Amino acid sequence: MKPVAFEHATAATLDEARALLTTGAKPMAGGQSLGPMLNLRLVRPERLVDIKRVPGLRGFTETETHLTLGAATTHAEIEDGRVPDVTNGLMRHVAGGIAYRAVRNRGTLGGSLAHADPAADWPSVMAALGATILTSGGRRLPADGFLRAPFTTALEPGEIITAVEIPRQPPGARWGYCKINRKIGEFAKAIGIATPTRLLAGAVEGPPTLLDRVEDIPARLPWLDPAAQRLAAIAVTRAQAMRDS
């Protein structure tokens, strides 16, 4: 379980990162998904571009309406409240349930979104929050719809996520989050999210899906088998109950 040989480059600026990310190159921030894939030789990039020191990918800016988190913000920084929270605790709650602490110390928000594993937490949470993904190509992509298919996103080749813009939730707005998995820290088999205005079914082997009602699941997630649809319904129902409790 050792990677094939690759060239390693560190990008000091976004322009440099763009220049280095030619065909056959892969960006790496926390490396918590890419690292194992490299070791298993499932990916064999010619060049690995370390982007976590690029100015602007770290840190945050806050306005009255939004929080913008740098893409290289780690799960642990969110969990520990080292960046502001505009979601009444939802993001801190979610961050604390991602894998285990060693992974959270290195893994990043942007990396998780770009990796686009449907069973991961952030693609679902950002879609439910109505967040916007900002890219090195200067594009603003809605988080809902960003994950096109498992491990496939709306990013163009060579384009990286630079930040995520999260709408500030109204004070006191309640939420519910239910992740069904084999044990704490494992990837989800189903994710249900309830915000005051939205329901979302995640970890559905495809794009996280906004719902009007739990009963929409069979129609909106036709590719899921009945058992998985059932599990999705349980997760969404429990998220709703948590929100309304």
Residues 172-191 that bind other proteins (CB under 8 A): 180, 182-187
- Lay out the site mask for other proteins across 17-56 (x = CB under 8 A, - = otherwise): -------------------x---xx---------------
Residues 104-123 that bind other proteins (CB under 8 A): none
Nearer to other proteins, 36 or 137 (CB): 36
Q: Residue 241 interacts with other proteins (CB under 8 A)? A: no
Q: Residue 140 interacts with other proteins (CB under 8 A)? A: no
**In this structure, what are the phi and psi dihedrals at residue 103, rounded to the nearest 5 degrees?**
-70, -40
Nearer to other proteins, 3 or 56 (CB): 3
Sign of CA dihedral 175, 90, 100, 202: positive
Q: Cα 56–135–171 angle (5° rounding)?
A: 75
Cα-Cα-Cα-Cα torsion 33, 102, 86, 211, nearest 10 degrees, comes to: 50
**Three-state SS across 143-170?**
CCCCEEECCEECCCCCCCEEEEEEECCC
Q: Residue 8 interacts with other proteins (CB under 8 A)? A: no
Q: How far is the CB of 134 from other proteins (least distance, A)?
A: 30
Nearer to other proteins, 85 or 186 (CB): 186
Q: How far is the CB of 102 from other proteins (least distance, A)?
A: 13
Nearer to other proteins, 8 or 183 (CB): 183
Instruction: Say which residue the tokens 């899906």 belong to.
Output: 209
Q: Cα 26–30–33 angle (5° rounding)?
A: 70
Nearer to other proteins, 119 or 161 (CB): 119
Q: How far is the CB of 96 from other proteins (least distance, A)?
A: 12
Select the residue interacting with other proteins from 9, 43, 234, 242 (CB under 8 A): 234
Nearer to other proteins, 158 or 185 (CB): 185
Buried b (16+ CB within 10 A) or exposed e, 152-183: ebbbeebbbbbbbbbebbeeeebbbbbbbeee
Residues 214-233 that bind other proteins (CB under 8 A): 227, 231
Q: Residue 12 interacts with other proteins (CB under 8 A)? A: no
**Interface residue list for other proteins (CB under 8 A):** 1-5, 36, 40-41, 100, 180, 182-187, 227, 231, 234
